[in-house]
């Protein structure tokens, strides 16, 4: 049966089918093919997004999502293990390359640069072969680190005048401002919006006490620690985000906040902690190594060899 390519926001049934597809690929490859944000975006109809679905009959066997919210645009794609090596991945990639050039959300005339980076989670052999065949190569690596937890993991001492407290809804504006400054150069985290924050609050894993702010006796927060525990895998907790105001960096606050996150995860009964860090963030990589984190896996972003940055 000939595959059909559909472009457009998925309805609820299609979104569910995409999640089922992603689960099948994860079972075959040992790593999820889609990260958190694209899965959240299945609920979103945005001018910055392209959703491309490949069907064979009634079955969803391929999916790609293009996000033009930053330059370069980014994409993630997945093909069902039973339907690989039939050109579906190439079709989805060509669609992503084309749609990376669509106009900006504002509708201003002209086109974006057209640069596109495609995520390959875990960079499994199937992804490596696919990239090599098309002449794409890694241009960014995101390292997944892990560390054992124990009851000995305890809260750190913060400098006098600073305390850690649970974030409240009326802290949203201050948190968004802090996050945007702490991650001004980060292509994903620095773009977090109120809608993104609200979407995470709606997730099954969200707990109010998971997001905590480091605050002075008076004044705006200087940092934050956000932890995450997936209810389906409660033995593993994630240091989801650690952020420090650029003006307060160099004081060891990021390290202390990470330790606070580890202590919270241990107190919740987790036996393993994981986190994600860009490979070129040498300071963070050094900090996490000193805290006992080891490499688990690496996600990469791919780009055409001729346009490698």
CA distances for 231 relative to 38, 39, 41, 167, 209, angstroms: 20, 17, 21, 21, 15
Q: Which residues are annotated as a binding site?
A: 36, 77-79, 85-90, 188, 228, 238, 242-244, 249-255, 276, 281-286
DSSP 277: E
Q: What are phi and psi of 275, to 5 degrees?
A: -155, 165
Q: Map tokens 């650029």 to a residue.
A: 246
What's 147-160 look like in SS3? EECCCCCCCCCCCC
Q: What are phi and psi of 234, to 5 degrees?
A: -70, -10
Residue 16, both tokens:
């569910």
Q: Which residues pair with 277 in a beta bridge?
A: 143
User: 195 with 40: CB under 8 angstroms?
Assistant: no
Residues in the chain, overall count: 309
Q: Which residues are annotated as a binding site for acetyl-CoA?
A: 77-79, 85-90, 242-244, 249-255, 281-286
What gap in Å lies between CA 251 and CA 269, rounded to an integer? Answer: 30
Distance of CA 97 to the CA centre of its chain: 21
């Amino acid at each position: 049966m000939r595959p059909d390519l559909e472009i457009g926001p998925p309805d609820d049934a299609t979104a569910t089918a995409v999640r089922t597809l992603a689960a099948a690929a994860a079972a075959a490859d040992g790593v999820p093919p889609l990260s958190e944000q694209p899965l959240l975006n299945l609920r979103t109809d945005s001018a910055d997004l392209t959703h491309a679905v490949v069907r064979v009959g009634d079955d969803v066997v391929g999916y790609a999502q293009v996000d033009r919210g930053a330059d370069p645009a980014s994409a993630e794609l997945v093909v069902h293990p039973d339907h690989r090596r039939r050109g579906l991945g190439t079709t989805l990639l060509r669609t992503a390359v084309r749609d990376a050039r669509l106009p900006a959300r504002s509708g201003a005339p002209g086109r974006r640069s057209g640069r596109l980076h495609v995520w390959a989670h875990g960079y499994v052999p199937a992804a490596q072969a696919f990239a090599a065949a098309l002449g794409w190569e890694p241009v960014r690596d995101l390292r997944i680190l892990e560390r054992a937890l124990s009851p000995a993991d305890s809260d750190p001492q913060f400098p006098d005048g600073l305390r850690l407290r649970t974030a409240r809804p009326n802290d949203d504006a201050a948190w968004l401002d802090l996050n945007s400054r702490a991650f001004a150069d980060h292509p994903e985290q620095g773009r977090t919006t109120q809608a993104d924050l609200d979407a995470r609050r709606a997730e099954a894993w969200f707990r109010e006490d998971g997001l905590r702010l480091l605050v002075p006796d008076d004044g705006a927060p200087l940092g934050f620690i956000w932890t995450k525990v997936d209810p389906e895998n409660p033995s593993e907790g994630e240091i989801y985000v650690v952020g420090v105001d650029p003006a307060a960096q160099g004081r060891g606050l990021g390290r202390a906040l990470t330790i606070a996150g580890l202590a919270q995860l241990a107190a919740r009964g987790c036996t393993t902690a994981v986190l994600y860090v860009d490979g070129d963030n040498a300071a963070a990589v050094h900090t996490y190594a000193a805290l006992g984190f080891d490499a688990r896996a690496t996600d990469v972003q791919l780009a055409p060899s001729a346009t490698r940055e």
